[in-house]
Amino acid sequence: MGKLNTSKASLILELEHIMASIPGCIYWKNKKGQYLGCNDATVDLLGIPKEDIIGHDDFFLAEKLGWSESVVNAIQKIDEKVINTGTPILDIEEAPFSDRYGNIIQQITSKAPLRDTKGNIIGLIGNSINICQRKKTEDELFQAMKNSEIANERKLSNLANLHKELVGHIIIHNSVEEYAESIRYYLESIIACMPGNVYWMDTNSVYLGCNDNVAKMLGISRKEIVGKNYEDMAALVNWSQGQGEAFREADKEVIATGKPKLNIEEPPIQDTQGNVIYFLTSRVPIKNKFNEVIGVVGVSIDITERKKMEEELRQAGIAKKAAEIASKTKSEFIANMSHDIRVPITGILGLIQELINFADDTSVILPQISSIKSTETIEKYQFLLNQLIEKVQEDGQLLIGATDELLQLLNEILETMRLDSGKIHEEDEAFNLQELLEHNIELNLPVAHHKKLKLTCEIEDGIPTYFRGIRHYLDRTLLNLLSNALKFTKEGFIRLKVEMLGKNRSAYYPGDKVKLKIIVEDSGVGIPKDKFDTIFEHFSRLTPAYQGIYKGAGLGLYTVKRYIEAMKATIKVKSQVGKGTSFIITLPVIVSDHSDREKMRYRPPKMQKTHIIQNISPSKTQKVKESINSDTAMKILIVEDNKLAARAATSVINSLYRHCTCDTAADGREAIERVKKNRYDLIFMDIGLAEGEDGIEVTKQIRALDNHYAKQVPIVALTGHANTPEMRKEMLAAGMLDVFAKPLTAALLEPLMQQHIFKYEEEESLSTEPALSDPQKPTQLIDRAKSLEQCSGDEALLCELLSELSLDLKMFKEKMDEYYINHDVIALRKELHRVRGGVVYLTLPQLDNALSLFHEAVKAEPQNPEQLRQLYTQLQQVLEAFWEYVERMGL
């Protein structure tokens, strides 16, 4: 064999250096699984000399390193698959094994077939990257992927013409030149077909070579890459600015330190197709025989799919955390609801059982009384009847309170479900801002009076009357915030303020886009700062239900937030614990010149003017209601297929308007027939009628009748669908004037009647911030206007009731004095309860207040004798004043 050409010897040496320097373990085997060669990293990992590795298989290594049989079987299974199929296997996670120190090693391995010059498979080549450190941060991801392959198979170029099976058994050629050529070709072929991206550069970051994968990614040949630098690559495949320089700096660090940088996740780069690829890169210095660094070899593993899976895992983790929070929140909600639902239901059941027991006892006592032939029979009957009335009244009020709690809870939950469904769209409409504010103040006045709170409204001067926006959402938002303020305020005030932001103009015109600042502030308990972000979440409550401090599902402010978002508004909270809270809304609206909901004028019944000034808002004009005269009776039609609901609605109407006649219709056909034959002042229309057309269709048919009154009669929907925007819109389009949720209550009926039946007139101006009168110190002996309203405008009836009440109060005083002197608390309580039941049919502020205070003092346990005496004297004085008034009236 002759001498080896110097250039070829240098090239072989360079290839051997590259092979030795490639990061990760590089090794190649024959078809029997015997090692033909490996790089230095493999030797370092195993701690076994290279000459001992070559010629042995994995069972030999297992014996040396204590590997289990399952580890060897797993390795051989993969090797056999590559050799039998001739297809590379890329980026698989091999079973963990121990190194020479007993450390557990986890590797990602790629393997490809080795072929001879005729294309026959003679073995395989493998490249394994240590991922132990990475594994620690990816346990969750890898656990999810352990039974699946993590990358698709790729096509690699066949090994070009490997001409010998074993390195140590290369056939001797006719010359040293041919032998050197064989060695060079052999080493180049191994590098070319290596999995992953392999490339090497000189100390100036100029490419000296690469494997087939790099060339394919860049769209050039392996020869064309030689001599190019990072800037050339950046221009070739449109790398982002500064990316090439970042790679150069990484090379410089390895060259300067002589130390490798392993498993570094680099910024993503593009291939020639514009695909974004993520790589995990290792850079290792190439050294010559003098141990001088002469370049850098890099191996980059495509981890794009892995990154996608990591992101999916991260998102899954976020989703899991969100689910845990939601689960915890729902658990708290269920705990609260289990209390808030069980308490009223338990109370309802207990009260019903108590009424049943009382009825049973009465049924036993009545026959006994009737058998007694004496003058005491009537008195005993009367006593028993009074007991029954008192019991029914007291328990009935408790039942109403309990069922109202359940209804409010159900309404909150249903509204939240509707908002969560995404169906919260509602169109803009023009509205009267002042009327909307007044309406919300009116609805909350009774609670404010009861809690002795000052409820006021301030509207800045110069604010236009009409605006265009989502009126319904603004209405619901204010109602929620005012209700919350009343709930969390024990004493002091609740104030609703409206200002115009950006006060840089003297006049506003229709179409102007403006922003309103709406503030709801109170002097209540306040909200801790750490609760500011959570109060707008689902089921958020300041205290759990079982503590019994505040009621509610914790959904009110969540719905407020959703309404605010729908109106493209913003809301923020300012609060100080123990001093109060302010909710500040910034609302974009458009100035309008009208309202889409102007009050329609209908045929009014014969009226008699009675001025009633209502202290509700800072409006410059006050509405004055005209009450119905005594010779005019209202007539209302209730279209309802549920007999119980129809009866309940009739009862509410008759309790407020005794001269009102209520007809009922169970279906649309009957309703239309009644409208044809009668002139109604108002129609309540159920939507979900059991038979025939629904309420919307019935309304259309009524409006289509050839009847002037049918076309004008106010029709109001009373349904469980009132909060559904789509249905609400359809109802109004059909000819209904308003839509309300069941059940019909007195609080709902009175303003409804004012709006659709009674006529309003402009009256005297009010102050800009009216103070609510103290309910503990009423100044009127009789509110004649309200009393006349309770009598449906019938003066004769009012006089008759005053006269009868005067006589009844005289009998009451005789009994009261007797029971008070004899300290008969039980009898006194019953008599007070009886007489108060009659007083409520008229509005007598001083008398009602005196009776109420004395009644509470009598029921107190223990009683305060001095307080009882003072209130007793006060009641006597009020009674004398009442009789004097009645006498002056000539009754």
831 with 808, same domain: the answer is yes
Contacts of 281 (CB under 8 A, 6+ apart): 250, 261, 263, 264, 265, 266, 298, 299, 300, 301
Helix or strand or coil: residue 281?
Answer: strand
The angle at the Cα of 141, spanning 110 to 90, to the nearest 5 degrees, equals: 10
Cα distance between residue 202 and residue 288, in whole Å: 12
Is 616 inside any structural domain?
A: yes
Domain's final residue, options 420, 441, 469: 420
333 with 255, same domain: the answer is no
β-pairing, 107-115 with 104-105? unpaired
Cα distance between residue 446 and residue 452, in whole Å: 10
Residue 167's CB is within 10 A of a number of other CB atoms, namely: 14
Domain that holds residue 321: 306-420
Cα distance between residue 336 and residue 341, in whole Å: 8
Mean pLDDT in order along the chain per 10 residues (891 residues): 50 63 80 88 86 90 87 90 88 80 82 79 85 61 41 34 37 48 67 82 90 87 88 81 86 91 86 85 87 90 85 80 67 56 59 67 64 62 71 70 66 65 69 90 80 90 90 88 88 94 77 93 88 65 41 63 89 91 94 66 31 31 34 78 76 79 91 92 85 85 88 85 69 87 77 66 31 46 78 75 85 88 85 78 85 87 84 89 81 68
CA–CA distances in Å: residue 209 to residues 115, 197, 226, 253:
22, 11, 6, 20
In contact, 437 and 465? CB cutoff 8 Å: no
716 with 849, same domain: the answer is no
Is 599 inside any structural domain?
A: no
Is 602 inside any structural domain?
A: no
Helix or strand or coil: residue 848?
Answer: helix
821 with 686, same domain: the answer is no
258 with 316, same domain: the answer is no
Is 767 inside any structural domain?
A: no
| Closest listed residue to residue 13, CA positions, set 2, 4, 3 | 4
Q: Is the peptide bond before 588 cis (omega within 30 degrees of 0)?
A: no
11 with 110, same domain: the answer is yes
263 with 191, same domain: the answer is no
Give the total number of structural domains in the chain.
6
CATH number, domain containing residue 27 = 3.30.450.20
The pLDDT of residue 254: 92
42 with 191, same domain: the answer is yes
> Considering the entire predicted model, what is its pTM?
0.37
Cα distance between residue 662 and residue 809, in whole Å: 33
The pLDDT of residue 401: 62
531 with 618, same domain: the answer is no
In contact, 153 and 88? CB cutoff 8 Å: yes
The angle at the Cα of 803, spanning 798 to 805, to the nearest 5 degrees, equals: 95
670 with 754, same domain: the answer is yes
312 with 289, same domain: the answer is no
Is 772 inside any structural domain?
A: no
Is 106 inside any structural domain?
A: yes
Domain's final residue, options 148, 167, 195: 195
Is 877 inside any structural domain?
A: yes
Write out the DSSP string of 437-455: HHHHHHHHHHHHHHTT-EE
214 with 163, same domain: the answer is no
Helix or strand or coil: residue 575?
Answer: strand
CATH number, domain containing residue 822 = 1.20.120
| Closest listed residue to residue 441, CA positions, set 475, 473, 407, 464 | 475
Is 91 inside any structural domain?
A: yes
